Amino acid sequence: MKLKEVEKKYRDEWVLAEVLKEDESGEPTELKVIAHSKNRDDTYDAMKKVKGKYSYHFYTGKIPKKGYAVAFYIKI
């Protein structure tokens, strides 16, 4: 799925996805969703089981405080 499709489908949720493609600057463009939930702990639990995949963990909703953004890249 394209990043915009994931953001639309899983609005206001935490998403853990495998990165399938990146653009020239290293930003994910094509993803395979591994887990999604309104509860961040659920996606953290799923992250523990992901091995050998380039993954991207992010929130699709509005950032609570102005000026803050959160995104985690992990390579296990």
Give me the mean pLDDT over the 18-40 stretch.
95
Contact 50, 76 (CB under 8 A): yes
Give me the mean pLDDT over the 34-50 stretch.
93
pTM of the model: 0.79
Q: How many domains does the chain have?
A: 1
Note the pLDDT of residue 64.
64
Measured between alpha carbons, how far is 26 from 8 in angstroms, rounded to an integer? 22
Residue 63: give the domain boundaries.
Answer: 3-75
Q: Residue 28: helix, strand or coil by DSSP? A: strand
Note the pLDDT of residue 32.
97
**Residue 17 CB contacts under 8 Å (≥ 6 apart), including other chains:** 6, 28, 31, 32, 33, 34, 55, 56, 57
Give me the mean pLDDT over the 60-67 stretch.
77
